[in-house]
Amino acid sequence: MMYNDLDPELMRARQKTMALTTAYAQGYSQSPAKREALLAKILGKIGKNVHFEPTFRCEFGKNISIGNNVLFGPRVGIYTADHAIDKTERHLGGCQAKPVTIGDNTVIGSGSVVTHDISSNVVAYGDPCRVARKITAADKTGYDPTKI
């Protein structure tokens, strides 16, 4: 259903989200708990061990759900709003947004623009972001920091 993107309440919500994503990027040296608290204010649902490399952007955030153990590369945006195509509707502020879910154990590559759901256990990247491949046992490297 279309809504008015020029509505003052929605404009404030977008400004608030921009301020929070900026604070998240600027607080990169803060504790993981503080950064996680900022993400909880931005997103609708956030799982455990979610990490965004700076910078991360989204318009509203409350319609975005992210699973557990998700890694985002730098400069990732999650955009769920579609502006009207018809010029008259677009100039009147016609817009619609859909929920987006990113599944568990997923890696989103640098510079990606996520506009739709991304399944679990995959590597995805691009503009628009697409699943490149599943994460498999072949991705296990045997890394053990105690042996370095």
Does the annotation mark 91 as catalytic? no
Question: DSSP characters for 35-76?
Answer: HHHHHHHHSSEE-SSEEEPSPEEES--TTEEE-SSEEE-TTE
C-alpha 116/C-alpha 139 separation (Å) is 25
Residue 29 tokens read as 């040296």
Q: Which of 51, 83, 91, 116 is catalytic?
A: 83
Beta partners for residue 87, in sequence order:
none
List the catalytic residues.
83
